[in-house]
Every structure is written in structure tokens, then in C-alpha cells.
């Protein structure tokens, strides 16, 4: 189980110190598929980075599989089965897609296995396996390779940050099938930050984050209609239409 | 019989000390010929006017292979050698050069290798050169290679040059005269560490219509080392050239990159780009999320960058 207890995180902004995560508590059961959604700037990516250890909280606790991981490094968390797919994956001059997938899997993986992960994210494996992970890849291609690295880790907790961003409709369909399969087979706890209705609809539960707090959390059947009914709240122009 | 020190250095610069029977071979150790072998198509001849060899590759040679490694093991030994390659028309050859210095003494060891390539019409050359230094002595290890290339019509050369580690000081100079429809690709990789210094200058002249040149430089400067790149490319006719210099800087290192392109014809098209920077934190972070430590991540990034 992933348990987050009274987590706080602030950052310095031009306007001064700003609370990004505000006393947030949360539990996600093992092998559940949770989607985190909410308005831009609400703290979703920061929460994901805090879970991975890329940011250090001001206070609060993160407990994974009964172990307090709050003080552990990114590497230590990765070795405990936490993985994180970046919203904007970095590029590497000289490292190939094959290199990256082998690093991700933590073993000598043969090309056939490597290609299977690329196929799962809608990429024609033969065209990509030997390509450099550099700027010659489009945003959507890099994003799909990023997701493939998480799949190759076979970690128990997979966190994806807006996996749909930059991905074309056809590849996105393949991707939703992959998430659906992981969820159905109960292969991992899936935490996906997303604004995409089709992904949200696939989840077991939805966590709505706004202003660094949880605005709503519950089963998809309960939360999804509420979100859909609130999409134009606060926009006077849209409300007037 | 080559001793262990020599075979160890050969393993570093040639990836082997047991060279294939089908390859022409000239091993030079401390200024002397240690081993030589010719093949049906490739003849290596000692120069009579100065120190060095002439390598003749017969026209039409296919899958030709030449190894000409140089090893210095005597501390304080200074070596200057002239190697001239004559590659016949339509020949295809891979030439593996390279120099390794083992210096366990307190005196400076130095090797200056001057290579000249005369590449005949439509011939294709792949030139691989590795430079390496080792040894526990305080004496410096200096390598100053000069490479001069003449490409006739339709000829091509790909030069993969690398300085692996352990070279205290290097001044590299490469010049090329590229004929009609000919192409030169230079892929240079340099790693400096400690207080080492590396300078690489190039003069590439695109003189023939339809000639092409690509210079790709990748370098890593660590600790207090310094590097200077000064590739100059001239387009004298309808031609295409691209110079790209990328450097990763670490610690207190210094890197200067000064690519220069000059067009002397309205149909010449030349591009240059240069980038120097540290390893991005997000790259380290990404590899840490895949289970590597920060140190392992850095090593992987550098390994890929200089591959």
C-alpha cells in the first residue's frame, strides 16, 4: 500500500514562499489503478516527484509497503519498486533506446524482449531500438519510450505523469490497452496523472487535487460524473453560455 | 616476441594484441619495427629519407585491413614518425592506427605521428585511431598527431579518432583537401582529466563540386583539465559541410570551442553548431529512477556520450 501522511511541500516563487502540497494525506491500495487529476498548477506533478524522491517534503511521511521511505534517495526508492515516468523525459546523446531499456530492466535484456516493450507503447520496435535517445526523437516518440522504460522495470508501483501528452490518437489507444492490461492482471499499483477521459474512465479510483489538497477521492463511478459536471466551474464566460 | 606491457597497451588501443592473419601489420615499439606483415594487396615499405613507412593499398582492394599501432614504453623517449598511405582507385580499406604510452619514469615520453592519406578515385577508407596513456611515473605522456588527407573524385574517408585517457598533453591537427563528389567524416572523441590539456585544430577545404564534410566532435573535460577546439571549414564551390562540437564540462575544467565556417562560393552551404555544458540534473535523476546511483548514472551518460 502507498500511504501519504500529512505531506507538505513549499517552493520559492516570485511572489514569495508558496505551498504546493498542503498537508495532504492519501492511501492507495495495492494493485489499484488510481488516476490523479485536477487543474494545472494544483500540485499533481510535485506529489509524484515527492513519492519518487525527486523532491524532499517540508514535513509529513511517505510509506510504501509498510516502510517509511520519506528519507530514502531516489535510487533506494527505485530499488524498492517505485518507478516514475517523466512528463518531459530527458534526452541522452549517445545512449540508445536499447541501452535505456536495458538499464531500466536492470539486466542484460535481449532485443526481442526489448522490442516487446516498445510494441506495448505503440512503437514499431525495429525502427526505434537502435536509435539514440536524443533530440532527433519527437516529443511523442520520447514520451512513449519513457513509458516503455517504466514497463521494463516491472516495478510494483508505477507512476506516470501525463502519459498521454504529445501522443497521437492511434498510439494512445495502444497505450490505454497497456494500462488496462496491467490493471486487469493486477500486475502493479498504477498511479497515473492524467486529464484524459479515457484513462480516467479506466481507473479504479480518482484523486482530484486542487491547490495542493485533495478536493475529492473515491471510486471512479462516484467521482467521474462529479468532475465532468464541474469542468466549467469558475469560468464566467463558459457559465454564461 | 612482445612483452606484457606492450600487449597490454595494444589491447587498449587496438582492442587486441593478436591481429588477424588477413590484415597487413606494422607494430612500432619505442621507435623500432617490432613486427611487420604484408598481404597480397597491401604493402608496407620503410621510408629511406626519414623515419616512417609508406603503405600502398592496391587499386580495387576489397575488405582491406591494416593495423599500424605504436607503443612507447621507455620513459623519456621521443618519437616522430611519418606514415604515408597511398590508397588506389576503387579500393576499400579499414586502417587501424593508434598510439599508447606507458610511462613509469619521471621523464616526458612523446610521440608525434604525421599521417598523410592520398585517397584515389572512388576509394573508401575507414580510419580508426585511439590514443591512450598509462603508467605510474611522473613523466608526462604527450601525443601530437597530424593528419593530412587528399581525397580525389568520389573518394571518401571516415575518421574515428579518440583519446581514451591518460594523455597529459595533445595537439591534434587535421587538414583535408576534398575533391569533386568526395566526402570526409571526422568523428573525434576526447576525454581529459586531472591537469591534462588537449587542443584540436582542423582545416577542411571543400574544393570539388559536390564535396561533403561532416565534423562531429564530442568531448568530456573533467577535473582541472582544459580543451580547445578550432575546426575551420572552407567551401570553395558547390558543397555541403556541417561542423558540430559538443562538450561536457565537469569540475574545474575549461573548454573553448571555436568552429569557423567560410563560404567562397554562392553555392556552398556550411553549418556549424557548438554546445558546452554540464550533465543535466534531470538526466542523472532519470537514471536514478531506473535504479542507478548518481555516480553510476554519470558514468553511463559519459560512456554513451563518448561511444
ipTM of the complex: 0.91
Stretch B11-36: mean pLDDT, rounded? 86
For residue range A188-232, list pLDDT tens digits in order: 999 999 988 889 989 999 999 999 999 999 999 999 888 777 654
Cβ-Cβ contacts under 8 Å, B281 against chain A: none
B158: distance to nearest CA of chain A, Å? 18
The verdict on a CB contact (< 8 Å) between A94 and B305 is yes
| Contact residues, chain A to chain B, C-beta under 8 Å | 52, 54, 73-75, 78-79, 83-84, 86, 89-90, 92-96, 99-100, 103-104, 106, 149, 153
Q: In the predicted model, what is the mean pLDDT of chain A? A: 90
pLDDT over threshold 90, residue A235: no
At A230 the pLDDT is 66
Q: Is B298 on the interface with A (CB under 8 A)?
A: no
Stretch B15-24: mean pLDDT, rounded? 84
Cβ-Cβ contacts under 8 Å, B290 against chain A: 78, 83, 100, 103-104, 106, 149, 153
- Asked whether residue B304 is assigned to any structural domain, the reply reads no
At A238 the pLDDT is 45
The verdict on a CB contact (< 8 Å) between A74 and B288 is yes
For residue range A36-91, list pLDDT tens digits in order: 999 998 999 999 999 999 999 999 999 999 999 999 999 999 999 999 999 999 99
pLDDT over threshold 70, residue B112: yes
The verdict on a CB contact (< 8 Å) between B291 and A78 is yes
Stretch A156-177: mean pLDDT, rounded? 88
Q: Is B20 on the interface with A (CB under 8 A)?
A: no
Is residue B132 very low, low, confident or very high in pLDDT (cuts 50, 70, 90)?
confident
At A231 the pLDDT is 56
What is the total count of domains within chain B? 1
Residue B13's contacts (CB-CB under 8 Å, 6 or more residues apart) are B69, B71, B98, B99, B100, B130, B131, B132, B164
- Asked whether residue B293 is assigned to any structural domain, the reply reads no
For residue range B52-81, list pLDDT tens digits in order: 999 999 999 999 999 999 888 888 888 899
Poorest-pLDDT segment among B39-43, B90-94, B97-101? B97-101
Q: Nearest chain B Cα to A103, which residue? A: B290
- Asked whether residue B262 is assigned to any structural domain, the reply reads yes
% of chain B with per-residue pLDDT over 90: 74
Poorest-pLDDT segment among A237-241, B13-17, B110-114, B220-224? A237-241
For residue range B256-279, list pLDDT tens digits in order: 999 999 999 999 999 999 999 999
pLDDT over threshold 50, residue B207: yes
A92: distance to nearest CA of chain B, Å? 7
Domain encompassing residue B119: 4-280
Least CB–CB distance from A103: residue in B246, B280, B287: B287
Is residue B5 very low, low, confident or very high in pLDDT (cuts 50, 70, 90)?
confident
pLDDT over threshold 60, residue A239: no
Stretch B143-166: mean pLDDT, rounded? 94
Domains of chain A and CATH, by start:
2-240 (3.40.50.300)
Q: In the predicted model, what is the mean pLDDT of chain B? A: 93
- Asked whether residue B44 is assigned to any structural domain, the reply reads yes
Q: Is B92 on the interface with A (CB under 8 A)?
A: no
At B214 the pLDDT is 97
Give B14 or A148, the one with higher predicted confidence: A148
Poorest-pLDDT segment among A71-75, B2-6, B45-49, B55-59? B2-6
Let me know: does B69 contact B30? Beta carbons within 8 Å.
Answer: no
Read off the pTM. 0.85
- Asked whether residue B163 is assigned to any structural domain, the reply reads yes
Is residue B234 very low, low, confident or very high in pLDDT (cuts 50, 70, 90)?
very high
Between positions 264 and 283 of B, the ones with CB within 8 A of A are: 280, 282-283
pLDDT over threshold 70, residue B253: yes
- Asked whether residue B186 is assigned to any structural domain, the reply reads yes
At A82 the pLDDT is 97
| HSE, side-chain direction, 13 A CA sphere, residue A51 | 32
For residue range A18-35, list pLDDT tens digits in order: 999 999 999 999 999 999
% of chain A with per-residue pLDDT over 70: 95
At A241 the pLDDT is 45
For A52, A164, A207, B178, B278, the CA distances from A200, given in Å and listed in that order, are 22, 11, 10, 60, 39
At A232 the pLDDT is 47
- Asked whether residue B299 is assigned to any structural domain, the reply reads no
Amino acid at each position: 500500500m502507498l500511504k501519504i501522511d500529512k505531506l507538505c511541500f513549499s517552493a520559492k516563487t516570485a511572489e514569495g514562499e508558496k505551498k504546493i502540497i498542503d498537508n495532504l494525506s492519501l492511501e492507495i491500495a495495492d494493485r489499484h489503478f488510481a488516476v490523479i487529476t485536477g487543474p494545472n498548477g494544483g500540485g499533481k506533478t510535485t506529489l509524484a516527484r515527492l513519492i519518487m524522491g525527486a523532491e524532499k517534503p517540508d514535513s509529513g511521511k511517505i510509506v510504501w509497503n509498510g516502510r517509511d521511505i520519506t528519507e530514502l534517495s531516489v535510487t533506494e526508492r527505485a530499488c524498492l519498486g517505485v518507478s516514475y515516468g517523466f512528463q518531459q523525459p530527458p534526452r541522452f546523446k549517445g545512449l540508445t533506446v536499447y541501452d535505456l531499456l536495458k538499464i531500466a530492466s536492470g539486466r542484460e535484456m535481449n532485443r526481442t524482449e526489448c522490442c516487446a516493450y516498445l510494441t506495448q507503447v505503440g512503437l514499431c520496435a525495429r525502427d526505434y531500438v537502435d536509435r539514440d535517445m536524443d533530440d532527433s526523437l519527437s516529443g511523442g516518440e520520447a514520451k512513449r519510450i519513457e513509458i516503455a522504460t517504466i514497463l521494463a522495470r516491472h516495478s510494483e508501483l508505477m507512476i506516470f505523469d501525463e502519459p498521454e501528452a504529445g501522443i497521437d490518437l492511434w498510439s494512445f489507444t495502444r497505450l490505454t490497452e497497456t494500462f488496462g492490461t496491467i490493471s486487469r492482471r493486477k500486475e502493479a499499483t498504477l498511479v497515473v496523472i492524467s486529464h484524459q477521459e479515457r484513462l480516467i474512465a479506466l481507473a479504479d479510483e480518482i484523486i482530484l487535487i486542487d491547490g495542493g489538497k485533495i478536493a475529492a477521492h473515491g471510486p471512479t463511478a462516484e467521482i467521474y460524473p462529479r468532475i465532468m459536471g464541474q469542468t466549467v466551474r469558475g469560468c464566467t464566460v463558459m457559465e454564461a453560455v | 616476441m612482445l612483452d606484457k606491457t606492450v600487449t597490454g597497451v595494444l589491447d587498449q588501443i587496438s582492442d587486441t594484441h593478436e591481429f588477424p592473419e588477413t590484415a597487413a601489420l606494422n607494430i612500432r615499439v619505442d621507435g623500432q619495427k617490432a613486427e611487420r606483415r604484408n598481404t597480397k594487396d597491401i604493402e608496407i615499405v620503410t621510408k629511406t629519407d626519414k623515419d616512417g613507412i609508406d603503405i600502398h593499398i592496391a587499386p580495387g582492394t576489397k575488405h582491406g585491413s591494416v593495423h599500424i599501432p605504436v607503443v612507447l614504453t621507455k620513459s623519456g623517449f621521443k618519437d616522430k614518425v611519418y606514415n604515408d598511405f597511398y590508397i588506389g582507385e576503387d579500393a576499400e580499406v579499414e586502417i587501424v592506427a593508434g598510439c599508447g604510452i606507458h610511462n613509469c619514469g619521471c621523464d616526458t615520453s612523446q610521440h608525434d605521428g604525421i599521417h598523410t592519406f592520398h585517397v584515389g578515385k572512388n576509394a573508401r577508407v575507414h580510419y580508426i585511431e585511439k590514443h591512450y596513456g598509462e603508467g605510474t611515473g611522473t613523466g608526462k605522456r604527450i601525443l601530437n598527431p597530424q593528419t593530412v588527407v587528399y581525397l580525389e573524385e568520389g573518394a571518401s574517408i571516415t575518421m574515428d579518432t579518440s583519446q581514451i585517457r591518460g594523455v597529459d598533453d595533445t595537439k591534434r591537427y587535421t587538414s583535408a583537401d576534398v575533391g569533386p563528389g568526395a566526402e570526409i567524416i571526422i568523428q573525434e572523441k576526447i576525454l581529459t582529466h586531472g591537469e591534462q590539456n588537449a587542443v584540436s585544430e582542423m582545416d577542411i577545404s571543400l574544393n570539388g563540386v559536390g564535396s561533403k564534410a561532416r565534423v562531429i566532435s564530442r568531448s568530456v573535460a573533467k577535473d582541472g583539465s582544459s580543451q580547445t577546439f578550432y575546426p575551420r571549414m572552407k567551401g570553395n564551390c558547390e558543397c555541403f559541410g556541417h561542423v558540430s562540437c559538443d562538450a561536457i564540462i565537469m569540475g574545474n575544467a575549461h573548454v573553448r570551442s571555436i568552429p569557423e565556417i567560410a563560404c567562397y562560393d554562392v553555392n556552398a552551404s556550411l553549418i556549424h553548431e557548438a554546445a558546452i555544458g554540464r550533465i543535466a540534473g534531470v538526466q542523472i535523476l532519470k537514471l536514478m529512477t531506473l535504479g542507478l546511483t548518481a555516480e553510476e548514472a554519470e558514468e553511463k551518460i559519459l560512456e554513451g556520450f563518448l561511444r
